[in-house]
Structure 1
């Protein structure tokens, strides 16, 4: 097979790129190791920044988002001093986030891509890459029980943290920045009426979060050990812990059947540079942020905005100037996302290693935010998404 851009991975990054390239008349092929059913139903993030929502609209893939997405104007932070209300459209004139599950974004992008003739091969597992420093790199993959090759002008590595693309870069050329936080999130998806707005909570027993996926589906989390054994968490224990950690008033936390239960690790990871030869990495393939800042999917979309412009410029006028700037441009935004997500993680979680002094500083920070418009504005403008710098 031969194409201009071979895209490894049909997550949000790969699918956004495929649609942007298709619109510009650039040939691409998407290779996805999993089945279509799997990628359309794996539950991930659910908060779309203003810029990500606009990208969906720009691509003509936002019909269902407009009908079913839940605009979120308020962000609450609960602690033992009360509730901090962060009014996003007031603090960041008119800007908000939209609650819409990542799996729904993926469904919409796949449907749009297939309807427009974008080749998306499911259960096509890439095994290795070849010729990355030549002008004809090759993706070796298996599909329909056969070993196949895809020859490209460029390869976009959008295959997630555990994919094959990042390891294809010689190890000595990559600088890796990694921090594993000493806890995870025990998350549930429950069939019940969710809280009316995103509510984060700092409690002496640990962090908790109440969010939503639809008017009838709540997504809730409690801080837990990295290696937490789910067998020790009955439904009753989960609801009791949420009630306590969210400082929930009587009747505020509606209980219901728990449909899914799992543990999410908290980690910050960045590898640089984000390219090697004709291979360009995007999204989780090259950076991971703690989930506290709701930045993962949004940073992936931001990478693709930069990469698509660079590839379009190359194919239209033969200039590699934007491609040469790709990694540096993206990493500026990535590190700001890491900073914000790490700040929110440190602000809201209980760290066993903290001394009483450090816990008092954390409490003082929360009280400062409660009384400072400037501090609340900083949180709000990062949450809705920072403006794009010229790329």
Structure 2
């Protein structure tokens, strides 16, 4: 098989890149190690930045998002019984969109299928060959049968545990990591959200987040110990703890119900440099991880896709390789800003095991400064809705 771009990974970043390339007449093949149903069953975040909204429109897959997505013009931040709102629209002229990552992926699969685009599922034994040459290729197997794709370029959109990053030699890669000493216990429930906008809560008992997927599907999180497991928490215990961590006025309005999904996610920050090696380009979790505070994971992957898509367009449409040569530099400049914001917001909202009373008072001072200072709110709003590409 031969194509112009081989895309390893059939999640949202790989599918978005494939669809954007298709719109411009650039061929690609997507390789996914799981089934379509497995990918669509993954529960992920659902706050989309303005840049990702524009990419979905450019890819021609925004119709359902525009109809069913819920614009959020701000967010609420609480500490103890205090709560204030950061107005995104006022400070930036933009809102974010609440639209689940699963729905983004579903729309992209539908577009790929409508275009008769090639996707290989259940691929195993993926190996990237000759990435430093002018003729890279990928080998893999499906049900034990060997396959090969010859291509011009390879996009590694296969996540943290994929083969793409590890194809780059150890003496080429530099990795930076911070592991946080807590996790997030999250549940999904078929209940109306406690508020029409997200609530980020800093409490003496630890962080909490009240978020939503739609008007009848809510996603709630509480900070927990890394030694916890989902089975340690009954639904009743979760709801009781969440109520303790948000202001009483909100807790009284909270509608509870049985969880339909419950999981614990560890938090970490991770970046690998560079994000390209020869004709292999890394996108999304293959190159970087952010804590979920601030919802930057999918959005940062989308910014990678933006840079790579436009670089490939310039190569095929104008014969210019400047964008390809600068891809890593451009992508990383924005990645590190997203890492900074996620680190700052996580540090502001969580309780750390070794936190002193002084550290806590600094948190409160920072929160009160954010509450009272327009410039601080503008900086947060600009980062939350997404820095420009």
If the length of structure 1 is used for normalisation, what is the TM-score? 0.97
Deviation for aligned residue 1:57: 1.5
Q: Which residue of 2 aligns with 1:212?
A: 212
Residue 8 of structure 2 contacts residue 154 of structure 2 at CA under 8 Å; is this kept in 1?
A: yes
Is 1:170 the counterpart of 2:169? The answer is yes
Match of 1:340 in 2: 341
TM-score by length of 2: 0.97
Distance in 1 (CA, whole Å) between partners of 2:282 and 2:124 is 17
Task: Choose 138-147 or 354-363, whichever is displaced more.
Answer: 138-147
Q: Point out where structure 2 has 5 or more consecutive residues left out of the alignment.
A: none
Task: Find the counterpart in structure 2 of residue 359 from structure 1.
Answer: 360
- Alignment partners' CA distance in 1, 2:63 and 2:22: 19
* Correspondence for 1:190: 189
| Alpha-carbon distance in structure 1 between the residues aligned to 2:237 and 2:302 | 37
Q: 3-state SS of the aligned residue for 2:293?
A: helix
CA-to-aligned-CA distance 1:275-296 (integer Å, 9 cap, x gap): 0011000001000011002111
Q: Secondary structure at the match of 2:33?
A: coil
Query: In the alignment, what sits opposite 1:179?
Result: 178
The aligned residue for residue 98 of structure 2 is 99
Paired residue for 2:23?
23
For these two proteins, the number of residue pairs brought into alignment is: 387
Once the 2 structures are TM-superposed, how far is the Cα of residue 81 of structure 1 from its aligned partner?
Answer: 5.5
Residue aligned with 2:253, SS? coil
**Aligned residues of 2:183 and 2:267 also touching (Cα < 8 A):** yes
Q: Which residues of 2 match residues 147-158 of structure 1 at below 5 A? A: 147-158=146-157
What's 1:136 paired with?
Answer: 135
* 1:384 matched residue in structure 2: 385
SS in 1 for 2:228: coil
Q: Deviations over 1:149-206 (max 9, x none)?
A: 1111110000001100000000111110100001110000011011211000000110
The question of 1:296 aligning with 2:297 is answered: yes
> 1:352 is paired with a residue of what secondary structure?
coil
RMSD: 1.1
List per-residue Cα deviations over 1:6-54 (Å, max 9, x = no partner).
0000111111110111111111100011101111221111100111112
> 1: distance between equivalents of 2:231 and 2:305?
40
- 8 Å CA contact 1:158, 1:284 repeated in 2: yes
Deviations 1:310-332 (A, max 9, x none): 11111223321111100000111
Q: Where do 5+ consecutive residues of structure 1 fail to align?
A: none
- Hey, what does 1:314 align to over in structure 2? 315
Deviation string, structure 1 residues 290-313 (Cα, Å, up to 9, x no partner): 100211111111111110111111
